[in-house]
Chain A
Amino acid sequence: MTSNLNLRHAIYWALFAGLLFAMPYLVSKGDLRTMIFALYVGIFAMSWDFLSGRTGYISFGHPFLIGIGAYATAILSYRFDVPVMFSIPLAVIITMVASTMFILPALRIKGSYFALVTLAFMELMYQLVQVIRPDLTGGTRGISGVETITRGAVNGFYLAAFLAFCVALFLWLLTRTRLGAAQSAIGMDEEALKGSGINATKLKLFTFVVSAAVAGLGGAFYVHYLGSIAPRAIFDINFVFTIIVAALLGGAGTITGPLFGAFFLTFLLEYLRPWLPGAERYLIYGGVALVLYMYQPKGMYAIAAKLRAGVMK
């Protein structure tokens, strides 16, 4: 597991941790709240990247996974008074189990079919939570008054930052192992990977379950940050695109790139708000994404890597 790790990596991670720790002293409370949202989007984008960025199996239904985690902890804690310290781990387990049951048949299909199936899962979940047991899910209105686990922007930021840092480090370490190489091989030529003696279905299932666990974890903590959950906010196609564009802008397959992509995208949208308060802001971010893909399809991570290589010369 320690292969390919060196002092440079340790320094980068320490600097990143230090920057996150110092952030509340450097920026306003308003920016801190924007950062909290960016951090959660970053967690979701890293979860997406671990599955789709590495293996090429594009998920258009990631809110399906986020939603299971979020609803599970909201229902457990709000309806059944389960303490949050138990409801969140349970929500992660429920996300892993439920998503596995849904995804097992879908792992044998590829390309646009896989993407469509995941999109269908999201839509299915959106419909289900509104009509099945609305006494538990809150129906179309969702659930308000869910217990929050932090008070104030600073605490909320530190919790989100701690989560995002742990998720980033965990996923990044995983991708530095031979597992990461095998995942990338799926994206390059799945048949050739099978021809190397590796059970690609098992590997995809593991990747999906880890991705689901991270999405469920992020969803669960996010609902306890917001204190409410509504189906229209989670199972929203704009939310899907925000996650995917953040991952692609940051650098698909790099794990840490999507976290920075989420920051870039969130602040871009936020700073555009005074001038473009409506949905037309999405046109701007679409334009920015287009320009970036034209000149650097591998995202901000690749730009940063080139800059670093230039400085090192």
Chain B
Amino acid sequence: MTILALDGLVKRFGGLTATNQFSADVTEGESLGLIGPNGAGKTTIFSLIMGEHRLNEGAIRLKGEAIQDLPTHARIQRGVARTYQVPRPFAEMTVAENIRVGLTPDSIMAMIFGSSNAAEELALAEAVGFEAADLDRLPNELSMGDLRKLELARTLATGAKVVLLDEVFAGLTVGEIAQISELINEKRRSGMTFVIVSHDLRSLEPLIDRAVAMTAGSVIAEGAYADVIADKQVRDSYLGA
């Protein structure tokens, strides 16, 4: 069953068409790799799904519901969330407090009269590989790998069913890549749907069921990873031929 449908997305920035009739379907529980050279428009697709950029044309449906006119927070409440290429932690908040923001309900009354759930914060932190002692650490004390884990924890805290991971391996050590990969695989086994953007194709391959390659804002190939990567147009786009 299709959980996320992207239909003919067009996004123009002035004279530049960053996304040009981009279409793709994501099946529930699937992990889809979105690949392409720098400037292909992968991050723009994420921004369009999340409502951070306004669509010029096209439709985005989540579980059959058109969400392209909803604000970002409403889309997240419907079950889609993203991480960023450059992690964006709340700089003066601890690991626990960052996760707490992700768990915070979008209701003023609930914010005031509800109380935070330390056990839930710890469970989310541990789910991404933190230990209890890490909860009081500030973002400036964390490695890039830890920052990515923190962002992932905050994203999972929103209750998202579809998670968009943008350059999730950038700046990570081999050990950290293995740790994040294991976490993603664990979440895949639990039925979570992923769309993953990464330039690190070797690390991406074992994490995805299918790949969509794009260049200049359009899909140029899609299917099994091995087939997509062997596609001449995909190879040419990466090599600049």
* Interface residues of A, Cβ cutoff 8 Å to B: 1-3, 174, 177-179, 181-182, 184-185, 188-189, 191-200, 202-203, 206
Closest residue of chain A to B110 (Cβ to Cβ) is: A178
Contacts of B50 in A (CB 8 A): 195
CB <8 Å contact, A198 and B90: no
B92-116: CB near A (< 8 Å → 1, else 0) gives 1100010011101010101111111
- The reply to whether the CB of B77 lies closer than 8 angstroms to some CB of chain A is yes
List the A residue with the shortest CB-CB distance to B92: A188
- A3 and B112 CA atoms in complex are apart in Å by 10
Q: 0/1 per residue, B59-101, Cβ < 8 Å to A?
A: 0000000000001111011000110100011111100010011
Contact between A198 and B106 (Cβ–Cβ < 8 Å)? yes
Q: How far is the CA of A202 from the CA of B111 in the complex (A)?
A: 12
Residue numbers in B under 8 Å from A185 (CB-CB): 90, 93, 101
Partner of B77, one of A192, A197, A200, A203: A197
- Taken together as a complex, chains A and B put the C-alpha atoms of A198 and B100 apart, in Å, by 12
For residue A196, which residues in chain B have a CB less than 8 angstroms away from its CB?
A: 76, 101-102, 104, 154, 157-158
Chain A residues whose CB sits within 8 angstroms of the CB of B157 once the complex forms = 196
Q: How far is the CB of B200 from chain A (nearest CB, A)?
A: 23
CA distance A178 to B109 in the complex (A): 10
**Alpha-carbon distance A3/B100, docked complex (angstroms):** 13
**B231 interface residue per 8 A CB criterion:** no
**Closest CB-CB distance, A174 to chain B, in whole Å?**
7
Q: A188-B90, A188-B91, A188-B93 are known contacts. Are A195 and B76 too (CB-CB below 8 A)?
A: yes
Could you tell me the distance in whole angstroms from the C-beta of B84 to the nearest C-beta in chain A? 8
| A179–B111 touching, CB < 8 Å | yes
Cβ-defined contact, B108 with A193, below 8 A: no
Inter-chain CA distance A44–B219, complex, in Å, is 57
**B90 touches which one: A2, A177, A178, A189 (CB < 8 A)?**
A189
CB distance from A175 to the nearest CB of B (A): 11
Residue pair B108, A203 in contact (C-beta under 8 Å): yes
What number of A-B contacts does a CB cutoff of 8 Å give? Answer: 88
Known: A174-B112, A181-B97, A185-B101. A200 touches B90 (CB 8 A): no
CA distance A179 to B104 in the complex (A): 9
Beyond A182-B101, A188-B93, whether A197 also contacts B115 by CB under 8 A is no
B114 / chain A contacts, CB cutoff of 8 Å: 178
Kindly identify which residue among A184, A195, A202 contacts B108, using a CB–CB cutoff of 8 Å.
A202
B52 interface residue (CB < 8 Å to A): yes
Extra contacts, 13 of them, besides A192-B88, A198-B101, A198-B104 (Cβ < 8 A), are: A1-B115, A3-B115, A177-B111, A178-B110, A178-B112, A189-B91, A193-B90, A195-B76, A195-B81, A196-B102, A197-B102, A199-B71, A200-B73
Complex interface: chain A residues within 8 A of B71 (CB): 194, 199
Asked if B91 contacts A197 (CB within 8 A), the reply is no
Residue from the set A2, A192, A194 with the largest chain B CB neighbour count within 10 Å: A192
- 18 CB < 8 A contacts A-B: A1-B115, A177-B113, A181-B93, A181-B97, A182-B111, A184-B90, A185-B90, A185-B101, A192-B88, A192-B89, A195-B50, A196-B104, A196-B157, A197-B77, A197-B106, A197-B158, A202-B106, A202-B108
Residues of B within 8 A of A193 (CB): 90, 101
**Bound-state Cα–Cα, A285 to B51, Å:** 46
Q: Is the CB of A181 within 8 A of B101?
A: yes
B114 to nearest A CB, angstroms?
Answer: 7
> A237: shortest Cβ distance to chain B, in Å?
31
B111 touches A191 (CB 8 A): no
Report how far A188 CA is from B92 CA in the complex, Å: 8
Which of A1, A178, A188, A202: most chain B CB closer than 10 A?
Answer: A178
Contact A182 B92 (CB under 8 A): no
Please state if A2 and B115 are interface contacts (CB–CB under 8 Å).
yes
Residues of A within 8 A of B97 (CB): 181
What 6 A-B pairs have minimum CB-CB distances, sorted nearest first? A197-B76, A179-B111, A192-B88, A178-B111, A188-B90, A197-B158
B contact residues around A181 at 8 Å (CB): 93, 97, 100-101, 104
Q: How far is the CB of A100 from chain B (nearest CB, A)?
A: 14
